[in-house]
C-alpha cells in the first residue's frame, strides 16, 4: 500500500511459536518502530516510523520475523 506522500507501508509479523523474547529486534531497530508492551505481552509495530530496513530480520537468531506489505 502506498500512502498519500508516496510512503510504502508495511507491517512486521513475529512467529511467537519460535520467538524467545530476547528483544534483540526491539533494541536494534534504528527508528524505534518496533516495541514490546510487557503489560499486554505484545509486540507493536509503527508503520509510520518503519524504514523497511530489515535490520530486525537480520538480528533475529530465531528467524521468526517477516515484513509484509499492508
CA dihedral 25, 45, 69, 66 (to 10 degrees): 30
Q: Does 70 bind ligand SF4 (CB under 6 A)?
A: no
User: Strand, helix or coil at 47?
Assistant: coil
Q: Under a CB-based contact definition with an 8 Å cutoff, are residues 55 and 22 in contact?
A: no
Considering only residues 14 to 53 of the shown chain, the ones binding ligand SF4 according to CB under 6 A are: 14, 19-25, 29, 31, 33-34, 50-53
Q: Does 11 bind ligand SF4 (CB under 6 A)?
A: no
Residue corresponding to grid cell 524467545: 20
Per CB under 6 A, residues contacting ligand SF4 are: 12, 14, 19-25, 29, 31, 33-34, 50-56, 59-60, 62, 64-65, 67
Amino acid at each position: 500500500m502506498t500512502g498519500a506522500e508516496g510512503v510504502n507501508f508495511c507491517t512486521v509479523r513475529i512467529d511467537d511459536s519460535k520467538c524467545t523474547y530476547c528483544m534483540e529486534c526491539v533494541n536494534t531497530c534504528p527508528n524505534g518502530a518496533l516495541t514490546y508492551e510487557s503489560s499486554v505481552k505484545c509486540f507493536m509495530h509503527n508503520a509510520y516510523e518503519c524504514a523497511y530496513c530489515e535490520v530486525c530480520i537480520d538480528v533475529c537468531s530465531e528467524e521468526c520475523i517477516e515484513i509484509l506489505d499492508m
